[in-house]
Structure 1
């Protein structure tokens, strides 16, 4: 019998096992996990509600609803991000587990009107299952595609465009960020309190004394990791040659098995002049404390091709869906701009 419950600290090992037993398939198998303790940095952006599906004491699957403020149809509203969906590889009742999870969320967690989720673009099995509209599952509405770019930090060229922002200037940073992203779907709402509490490096770009760009350097590795757990036969054979080439050409090297990708996010990145985006990324790479800097761009962003050409990143494609957990949710036809660091 499938039962759903709110996951607590005593379930951390079950949650980590489910995360790490469900690798993203491909030539490089990767897992996203939260070592050493799933709850060590809970609510790092928004309020998290992790769930565990069980049959007796056996963990069958997990998911999480994260509530946070963000922009929908040009207005600030509460968003519900459905994430960390994992089901044991050998469990046959996957649809039943999914339905039970959604029923629990509807009945016990009061999900916001506008909920969304992210699914790897090449996970055609999951996308087909959710898009065709099974009875008992919510409707999924494709909002857009996100390109997450992993760039070798050695590609950066210092031009002194960015400067560290003082605490008393955080309100200006927040206002500027919101002005730039309010017209996109799924852009998060930033807050001065969050910036102060996290103590992350906040960067500002000023031209003639006017704020023209902002970003936050966010290394999450102490509580959230991307780990390589396997390579296909072809990838294992080619990996030494590729890594040698990557080292010479300043591309992202493939990590050893069971090693964490050494990355930091260029988060909450915005610029008032789109012509500044490539120079600002270039300079931000020199501020990156890790070997890889990661940022997200909408797949339809007009500068994505130029950014890709300039920085030769590894790219991970994700589809963003609106999830209809309640009736009445409307999404305008707008470009998306979710923050990759909180997905």
Structure 2
């Protein structure tokens, strides 16, 4: 497997040094760092009165393979003790379709720093590394929640020596607890994905690449033997194929339970939410919406994997959204998450759901100027809630 996480101890020659910060250095992460990575990656993020921690248990390194086809994790360490991790940044690769062609996208995520070192020039060091060690024509992609002002202030503002940020999309992640049943629901039939239907699913992805940019180059054959870490937590029977009255495949989606490697934990609530929480949870139990867990408890929901159909086929999308809610409840969960770009025509149907909405911004970053010309803006940006 082609990854940039070392399975052997580092050595001094593998350290990157910068004249702008002499006390710290950058190196590749190793398996020996995993326990520290779990702790530092669980940074707290405020969101609508709730302080959340996005955790990777039992292994950050294992979980990163479900986010990237090829993780490339860099860590910042003190020069006098390179075994201590004080910051991290993943610059991994994703295999996807760009303008309809198979390509690579380098995705910036999990930029984390020990709060005790935020006064140091750690970010300067990481950006020096990016400038000196990564080809200058690289285009980076990032998605940052609007509520994560720390990450946004680092990634989404121009800084000398940093790759320039270019805003591309507003996106929305919906945590769906109720969905209206569309009038056309009974016109469609659902079939569970099987080994015999994998070729059909793969062919459908090839059709969808004509409409969506940055769509992962999915190969559902990886589910047949169940060994590919990019598909961690997923099986064939987690996926559903949608057929119309003419037995044509018109839609696809999967339900992804990530609890075995990724959790969203509540660290604290604002005072108003603490007072309101008992009443809200009583309401939630009646309405079948997502309840608020105890402090230090985790949310329990599913992610929608590959929720795909032709962007103009709103009847198919409405059917997908409602069917996903039915299947979520059958699996003992109350809610699922789906992420859509604001310019995706399907997002209009989401007003027919009861959903909690998180807003985020999608950026590209480049040393070589505005990268917009590299992308067909007519295509709809595709995002997967479970890999943001």
CA distance in 1, matches of 2:259, 2:180: 21
* CA–CA separation in structure 1 for the residues paired with 2:128 and 2:287: 50
The C-alpha deviation readout for 1:152-177, integer Å capped at 9, x for no partner, is 27988996732202212212212212
Alignment partner, residue 168 of structure 1: 196
Pick from 188, 195, 203 the counterpart of residue 216 of structure 2: 188
Q: Give the superposition deviation at 1:74.
A: 3.6
How big is the shift at 1:125? 5.2
Q: 1: distance between equivalents of 2:338 and 2:154?
A: 29
CA deviation after TM superposition for structure 1 residue 127, in Å: 2.9
Q: What is the CA deviation profile of residues 67-111 of structure 1, one whole-angstrom value per residue up to 9, with x for unaligned ones?
A: 1111323432101111111112232346x3223223334555669
- The number of aligned residues is 341
Partner of 2:347: 304
Residue from 140, 157, 164 that aligns with 1:132: 157
Pair 1:331–1:100, CA change in 2 (3 A):
farther
Structure 2 unaligned regions, length at least 5: 1-22
Higher relative contact order (CA 8 A, sep 6+): 1
Question: Superposition pairs for residues 1-343 of structure 1, below 5 Å?
Answer: 1-44=23-66, 45-55=68-78, 56=81, 57-93=83-119, 96-105=121-130, 107-108=132-133, 113-124=138-149, 126-152=151-177, 161-196=189-224, 197=226, 198=231, 199-200=235-236, 201-207=238-244, 208-272=246-310, 273-288=313-328, 289=331, 290-307=333-350, 309-324=351-366, 329=371, 330-334=374-378, 335-343=380-388
Cα distance, 1:292–1:79 mapped onto 2, change above 3 Å? same
Distance 2:179 2:349 in 1: 18
1:12 CA displacement: 1.4
**CA pair 21-337 structure 1, distance change in 2 beyond 3 A:** closer
Aligned-residue offset at 1:26: 4.2
Gaps of 5+ in 1: none
> 1:326: how far off?
5.8
Q: Cα RMSD between the aligned structures?
A: 2.7
Gap change, CA 1:205 and 1:105, over 3 Å in 2: same
Q: Is the 1:161–1:280 Cα contact (8 Å) retained in structure 2?
A: no
- Structure number with bigger Rg: 2
